[in-house]
Copies of this chain bind each other. A is one copy, B any other.
Amino acid sequence: MTTQVTSRSGTGREPAAARRTVEELLRRVEDELRAFLSAERDVWAGVDERAVVAVDALADLVASGGKRIRPAFCLAGHLAAGGERDDPGIVAAAAALEMLHVSALVHDDVFDASSRRRGMPTVHAKHSALHRRHGWQGESRRFGESVAVLVGDLALVYADQLMSRAPSTAVPVWNTLRSELMIGQYMDVAAAAEFSVDPRLSRLIALVKSGHYTIHRPLVVGAAVAGRSELAPVFRQYGEAVGEAFQLRDDLLDAFGDSADTGKPAGLDFTQHKMTLLLGWAMQRDEHIRGLITEPHHTPAEVRRRLLDTKVPADVEAHIADLVEQGRKAIADAPLSPAWRNELTDMALRVAYRSA
C-alpha cells in the first residue's frame, strides 16, 4: 500500500536485490512509525479522552498510505553508502523523515485550505466539521485550523524524537533539511501571494522545498547514518536534478492528473496561485493565463486548455527527461556499487514518471 516509489518499475524488469532490500526496510519503517505512535497513545490514554486526539490524527495519516519517497531515498542513501541493513538507526531516521513529512502535509493543507489528503478529509476539515456538528463555541474554521496546527506541531516533535534514535552524525543534515523546509515553504506562500512571473524564483523554491527536502537531504541523512558523509556532494548533484524532476511532475499531476490517483483535489496550484515553474513559463508565453487564474470563477479545465496551447507541458516533459539524465550522470562515476547505481537510476525514473 505504501511503497509506490520502490514497487513500480520504470523498466518492467523484476525488482533487483537492491530494491527488495529497500522495500523490506520500508516495512520496518512502517512498523517503527506504528509502534512509536501506539506507545505514545498508551502514555496519554489514561489522562483524558482529549489527550489522544492529536496522536490518533497522526496514526490515521500514517495508516492512510503515501508514497514514502523520503524514507525510500534515505534507506537507499544508507545502503548505497555501504550501511548495515540491520542498523536500527537507519529505520529510525527514515521514520523521522516520514513523520516530518506528515507534519508538513497537515500544515500545508491549512495554507492551501485543501479539503482532502490521501483520500481522506484533511485534519483541519475534519475538525472544523466536528466543531460545526457539535455547535461548539467560536469559529469552526479557526478551531479546525488550530487543531491541525497542533497536530502538525506534534508530528514535528515526534519526528525529532524518532531522529534522536539515529546516530548523531545525521544531526547536522537533519537540522539543515528542516529549516530549509520551513523557509522554502514560506517562500512558496509568499511567491503565490505576490504572483509575479519569475521562473528564477520558481526554480529556487522548487530547489529549496522539493529538491533538497525530498531527495538530496534524505540521501545524505542515509549516508551520514552509514558514516559516509563524503558522499554528500554526489548525492547533492543527483538529488537536486531528480528533485526538480519530482517537483515538475508534481506540477503536471496537479494540473492534469486525476484526483482519484493523487488523493487530493486537482488544480489546487491554480486556485492557490502557486507560482510553479509550469505556470511561470506558461504565463511568459500567454499573458491571458494570469488573468484567467486570478479570476475567482475560473475552472481548472479552462486553465488546462490554455496551458496545453502554450506547449509548455511538452517542454516540461523534455526538461524532466533532461533532469533524470543529469541525475544518472551525477552518480555515474561515484564510488557506489553498480547495483546501487542502477537502483538510484531506476528510482529517479520512478519518481519522475510516477502517476500519483
**Which residue of the partner chain B has the closest CB to A158?**
B179
Which of A9-17, A42-50, A227-235, A330-338 is near enough to bind chain B? A42-50
- Complex Cα gap A50–B137 (Å): 37
**Which residue of the partner chain B has the closest CB to A194?**
B136
Q: How far apart are A246's CB and chain B's nearest CB, in angstroms?
A: 20
Q: Contacts of A187 on B, CB cut-off 8 Å?
A: 48, 50-51
- Complex Cα gap A145–B141 (Å): 12
Q: How far apart are A95's CB and chain B's nearest CB, in angstroms?
A: 15
B53 adjacent to A204 (CB under 8 Å): no
**Which residue of the partner chain B has the closest CB to A139?**
B113
B137 adjacent to A157 (CB under 8 Å): no
What are 22 inter-chain pairs, A to B, with CB distance below 8 A? A48-B204, A50-B187, A53-B190, A54-B186, A55-B183, A131-B193, A137-B193, A137-B195, A137-B294, A138-B193, A143-B189, A150-B186, A150-B189, A153-B182, A154-B179, A154-B182, A157-B175, A158-B179, A161-B179, A164-B168, A164-B171, A168-B168
* Sample of 11 more A-B contacts, CB < 8 Å, known A103-B153, A154-B186: A48-B204, A54-B182, A54-B186, A111-B146, A136-B195, A137-B294, A138-B273, A149-B152, A150-B185, A150-B189, A153-B185
